[in-house]
Structure 1
Amino acid sequence: MSIQFRFLLGISLSITLTGCFSNNRHQGEKLYAQKCASCHGEQGQGLGRLIPPIAGSDYLTDHRAELPCLLRNGQNEVIVVNGVGYHNVMPGNKSLSPAQVTNLLNYIESHWGNEAAPRTISDVQAQLDKCH
């Protein structure tokens, strides 16, 4: 294999791989905008006493292991966020893949004052496997 061919192959592979990864690079942010922001707000601020905030939310840290199931199945019980009780139904989304759930949670948990450790797809998959 000539040096020129290897060089061109390397550049071609690099461009291809970059394209693959760039498609999901901002997936969490896009999913939040599409599926969450209409209720929880563009900056995760929530809506008064109707919809809980995600920004600076103690619920995210206190219920970290439950969040993948909450996104997948929704919830209809009273929850307490930052000392305020909320009792509105949150629809789930069973069509989200484990990778999408991971990217969405990694986005939410690293913005608006939230500082959780990043999740891996395998961790999220294990938590999703435990959902009822």
Structure 2
Amino acid sequence: MRSRPLRLLGAGSLLLTLAFSLESCFTERQNEGAQLYAAHCSSCHGDQGQGLERLIPPVAAADYIAQHRAELPCLVRKGMQGDIVVNGIHYNQIMPGHEDLTDSQITNLLNFLQTNWGNTNQSYTIRETSELLGHCNGSDGQ
């Protein structure tokens, strides 16, 4: 009779330990999108996504982000060049790609952009990002 409560106590402790372990795992990646933006994007697009005058488009409150959802993962991975229109303004600068980012990092980066600075768009899943990256042979499966 005594062993049953001890087993339940042991199982409860194990579950509690697992819960704290999982929480720290997710907590470490919780702000990854913001960190990736700061490391890879802010030098051009600004620390608040404001862009640079008529040279570099904003990502804050940017209609382009909502209108080109399916293209954004490849744009981050491969970069782009040529004319684009963001919030009614034409931009024509080269944007370098970020081949060094994993699919999950691109997902977190894009989700940061989708939900901050006046952007209220649907978040990506890693599966969706990987599928969209497949269109430009850019998925690394990670």
Output the TM-score relative to the length of structure 1. 0.94
Say whether residues 1:104 and 2:119 are aligned partners. no
**Structure 2 counterpart of 1:128, from 117, 129, 133:** 133
Cα deviation 1:78-126 (Å, max 9, x = unaligned): 1111111111111100121111111111110111111111111111111
Q: CA deviation at 1:44?
A: 0.6
Cα deviation 1:12-35 (Å, max 9, x = unaligned): 111111111111111111111111
Is the partner of 1:2 in helix, strand or coil?
A: helix
**Structure 2 counterpart of 1:80, from 75, 85, 90:** 85
Structure 1: gaps (5+ residues): none
Cα deviation 1:31-73 (Å, max 9, x = unaligned): 1111111111111100001110011111111211100000000
1:37 is matched with 42
1:48 is matched with 53
Please identify the structure whose Cα radius of gyration is greater. Answer: 2
Aligned length: 132
Instruction: Kindly report which structure 2 residues correspond to 1:63-74, keeping only aligned pairs within 5 A, or say none.
Output: 63-74=68-79
Q: Give the aligned CA root-mean-square deviation in angstroms.
A: 1.2
Give the counterpart letter for 1:71 in structure 2. V
Say whether residues 1:4 and 2:9 are aligned partners. yes
Name segments (4+ residues, structure 1) moved above 3 Å.
Answer: none
1:118 is matched with 123
